[in-house]
Amino acid sequence: MSASTTQATVPVIGRILLGIIFILSGVSKLGDPVGTQAYIASVGLPLPLLGYIVAVVTEIAGGVMLLVGYRARLAAVALAIFTVAAAVFFHHAFGDRNQFIHFMKDLAITGGLLQVVGFGAGVFSLDNRRAAVPAQDLA
């Protein structure tokens, strides 16, 4: 595989893998709204219904945007903030090995998202397609 092929394909593979995590998580929350809200309330966060809505919208919309590379930097910033917040509020019991692993995975996911923020969506993305369309064609 040539360097140019690698530089074209690796970002889309990374975006797909990151996006799937969020899409599946958001869809899972849709399937259990009561359980999700109870979990939010169990850590002492206020307004579990609002937290539920924010989580579902952020994960599904942000995940899809990241997956297809549409406004990927914006989606990656939103998902990075969301992921750090999830790590801090839900996985802070470092004495519990499982929670510590979840915390570190959230940080690793955030690192991948920050790569998208820093380097963009890549060649195979809607962002790249939009950038290639002349301004007069957008009217």
Does the pLDDT at position 135 exceed 60? no
User: Does residue 138 fall inside a structural domain?
Assistant: no
| Percentage of residues of the chain with pLDDT beyond 70 | 94
Express each pLDDT in 43-90 by its tens digit: 999 999 999 999 999 999 999 999 999 999 999 999 999 999 999 999
Instruction: Tell how far CA 37 is from the center of its chain.
Output: 20
Count structural domains, the chain.
Answer: 1
Asked whether residue 62 is assigned to any structural domain, the reply reads yes
110 located within any domain: yes
**Is residue 68 in some structural domain?**
yes
Q: Does any domain span residue 136?
A: no
| 139 in any annotated domain | no
Q: Is residue 51 part of a domain?
A: yes
Distances from the Cα of 108 to the Cαs of 46, 101, 126, 132, in angstroms? 27, 10, 25, 32
Range of the domain at 102: 3-131
Closest CA to 76 of 111, 107, 102, 52: 111
Residue 25: enclosing H or E segment and its boundaries? helix 3-31
| pTM metric for this prediction | 0.89
